[in-house]
Amino acid sequence: MSNSTAHINALENEAIYIFREVAAQFEKPVLLFSGGKDSITLVRLAQKAFWPAKIPFPLMHIDTGHNFPETIEFRDRLVEELGLELIVRNVQDSIDQGKVKEESGKYSSRNALQTTTLLDAIEEFKFDACIGGARRDEEKARAKERIFSVRDDFGQWDERNQRPELFDMLNGQIELGQNVRVFPISNWTELDVWSYIEKEKIEIPSIYFAHKRKVFLRDGLIWSHSDYVFQEEDEEVLERMVRFRTVGDMSCTAAVFSEAADIESVVQEIRDSTISERGARIDDKRSEAAMEKRKQQGYF
């Protein structure tokens, strides 16, 4: 598996082009920022697209309240260093307003609840373009996603009626009330993102590197031992060297056993891996069509 500079450069040029189209075609864009590696990569690409000017749109984090503390610390530091505007909207508020109900039981997670909070925030700020770090290689439903993906005012994705995208031309014309989800790194693979982080020396949260953590095992996945994660009494707490390959919130992200403590060893580990990235996403394990269902309802 090779990921030479020429290949990464081509993807980088494409992403910068997309960012500039967003800034030119929309009035109120926002970059959806989770603190994960893909959204951190987006921030770097946006910096490159507009330098020496500042990134001309804010970041927004839809916070489940169940995040890894390392991610939140990292988020706040990055925003401060780059002088960016950060908007945070909380899933807890949507729960308190009675709009969504906390899930209960063994597999409860606030991941799916984010959709309501996101759609409310889009309405509140009248965002017309939401930039996200989704990649087509991640998951089968995402493989069908456009770079400019139009959503109606319920945030719904009509997967059978998408606009054709030809050559480099991106059509961002929408009606009032519609918005567009934009995916500048659509054509990147997981390995591309990691290679780019290595090449650009981009700082990422420490949980992506091997560290000692209290975990427990369930359904062949490694779960974090935490107040936010339901744990049966017979599920024994172990202390192991692990790292996270993908980071959502604590209730939907499983760890992998790893000794990879720096970026070079992480890249090597991804190259050698025989498991897909989303294999460690508890939210995707719910059913074969889990992602497609969430996307139709307005998920990222």
Partner 1 sequence: MEVLKIATAGSVDDGKSTLIGRLLYDTKSLTSDKLEAIEKTSKKNGYDYLDFSLATDGLVAEREQGITIDVAHIYFSTATKSYIIADTPGHVEYTRNMVTGASTSQAAIILIDARKGVIEQTNRHFFINNLLRIKEVVVAINKMDLVDFSEDRYNEIKADFEELMAKRDYQDQKITFIPVSALKGDNVVHKSENTPWYKGETLLEHLEELDLAAVSNAGTPRFPVQYVIRPKTEEFHDFRGFAGKVYGGELSVGDEVVALPSQTRSKIKEIYFYDKKYQTASRRSSVTITLEDEINISRGDMLVKANDLPTIEKQFTATVSWMDTDNMVPGKKYVVQHGVNKVLAKVDTIHHKINPDYSGIDDTVQSLGMNDIAQVTFKLNKSIFYDKFKEHRTNGSFILIDTQTNSTVGAGFIG
What's the CA angle centered on 299, arms 75 and 92, to 5 degrees? 60
Give the span between the Cα atoms of 90 and 108, in whole angstroms.
17
Nearer to partner 1, 233 or 288 (CB): 288
Q: Judged by CB under 8 A, does residue 162 bind partner 1?
A: yes
Nearer to partner 1, 54 or 77 (CB): 54
Nearer to partner 1, 89 or 294 (CB): 294
Report, in Å, the least distance between residue 108 CB and partner 1: 23
Give the span between the Cα atoms of 226 and 123, in whole angstroms.
33
**Site pattern 44..83 for partner 1 (x: CB under 8 A):** ---xxxxxxxx-----------------------------
The Cβ of residue 242 has, within 10 Å, a number of other Cβ atoms equal to 22
Q: 116: closest CA among 130, 142, 131, 95?
A: 95
Q: Judged by CB under 8 A, does residue 269 bind partner 1?
A: no
Q: Judged by CB under 8 A, does residue 168 bind partner 1?
A: yes
- Name residues whose C-beta falls within 8 Å of residue 155's C-beta, 6 or more positions apart in sequence: 115, 118, 119, 122, 179, 297, 298
Report, in Å, the least distance between residue 150 CB and partner 1: 8
Residue ranges in 107-126 that form contacts with partner 1 under rule CB under 8 A: none
Output the DSSP codes for 71-119: HHHHHHHHHHHHT--EEEEEHHHHHHTTSS----STT--STTTHHHHHH
Interacting residue with partner 1 among 86, 292, 297, 300 (CB under 8 A): 292
Report, in Å, the least distance between residue 175 CB and partner 1: 6
Interacting residue with partner 1 among 149, 186, 246, 251 (CB under 8 A): 186
Interacting residue with partner 1 among 79, 86, 95, 174 (CB under 8 A): 174
Q: 78: closest CA among 61, 65, 100, 56?
A: 61
Q: Judged by CB under 8 A, does residue 23 bind partner 1?
A: yes
Q: Judged by CB under 8 A, does residue 40 bind partner 1?
A: no
Identity at 183, one-letter amino acid code: F
Beta-bridge mates of residue 179: 151
Q: Judged by CB under 8 A, does residue 297 bind partner 1?
A: no
> Are 38 and 184 a contacting pair, CB within 8 Å?
no
CA 219 to chain centre: 24
Interacting residue with partner 1 among 81, 164, 201, 272 (CB under 8 A): 164
Nearer to partner 1, 115 or 186 (CB): 186
Identity at 93, one-letter amino acid code: D
Residue ranges in 125-154 that form contacts with partner 1 under rule CB under 8 A: 136-137, 139-144
- Name residues whose C-beta falls within 8 Å of residue 242's C-beta, 6 or more positions apart in sequence: 210, 211, 212, 213, 215, 222, 255, 256, 257, 258
Task: Give the residues lining the site for partner 1 (CB under 8 A).
Answer: 1-4, 6-7, 9-14, 16-17, 20-21, 23-24, 47-54, 136-137, 139-144, 159-160, 162-169, 171, 173-175, 186-187, 189, 191-192, 273-276, 279, 288-289, 292
